[in-house]
């Protein structure tokens, strides 16, 4: 079975409902249909920000986000939010080793000169 990218945006699709995009949007052009699809799955922060900016001007943003949440999208920007492993996250983890947490030195008592 082939699935159109647009059909993934429709809440209920995962339940077997096949609803055409035109049924939902009334043939309104969506930003993700004219942009490079790769931008919605960008690995870098500027790419993610660009995808979120496109979503911000989309008339389907609420329905798209609702659908992505209902499907627990594994990755990508949907409805203006970044999904990782089915959850909305603020930002992707960067590549490489996590920063080392340096324990701070214990606070020392300092005697005040009188
Ligand atoms: S909110 Fe973003 S991903 Fe969803 S339909 Fe609109 S432009 Fe596409």
Residue 111: half-sphere exposure toward Cβ, Cα within 13 Å: 2
Ligand 1 midpoint to CA 45 (Å): 18
Q: What is residue 92's predicted lDDT score, i.e. its pLDDT?
A: 82
Digitized pLDDT (tens) for each residue of the chain, 114 residues in all: 334 454 455 555 555 554 455 555 566 789 998 999 999 999 999 999 999 999 999 999 999 999 999 999 999 999 999 999 999 999 887 777 777 776 666 666 667 666
* Strand 81-84 with 75-78, pairing: antiparallel
Which ligand 1 atom minimizes the distance to the CA of 54? 7
DSSP three-state, residue 84: strand
**Which ligand 1 atom lies nearest to the CA of residue 68?**
4
Give every CB contact of residue 91 below 8 A, 6+ residues apart in sequence. Answer: 45, 48, 82
| pTM across the whole model | 0.67
Does ligand 1 have an atom closer than 6 angstroms to the CB of 24? no
């Amino acid at each position: 079975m082939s699935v159109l990218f647009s059909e993934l945006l429709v809440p209920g699709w995962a339940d077997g409902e096949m609803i055409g995009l035109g049924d939902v949007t009334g043939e309104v052009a969506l930003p993700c249909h004219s942009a490079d699809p790769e931008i919605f799955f960008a690995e870098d922060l500027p790419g993610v920000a660009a995808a979120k900016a496109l979503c911000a001007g989309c008339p389907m943003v609420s329905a798209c986000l609702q659908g992505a949440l209902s499907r627990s999208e594994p990755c990508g920007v949907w409805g203006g939010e970044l999904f990782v492993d089915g959850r909305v996250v603020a930002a992707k983890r960067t590549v490489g080793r996590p920063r080392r947490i340096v324990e701070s030195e214990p606070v020392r008592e300092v005697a005040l000169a009188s």
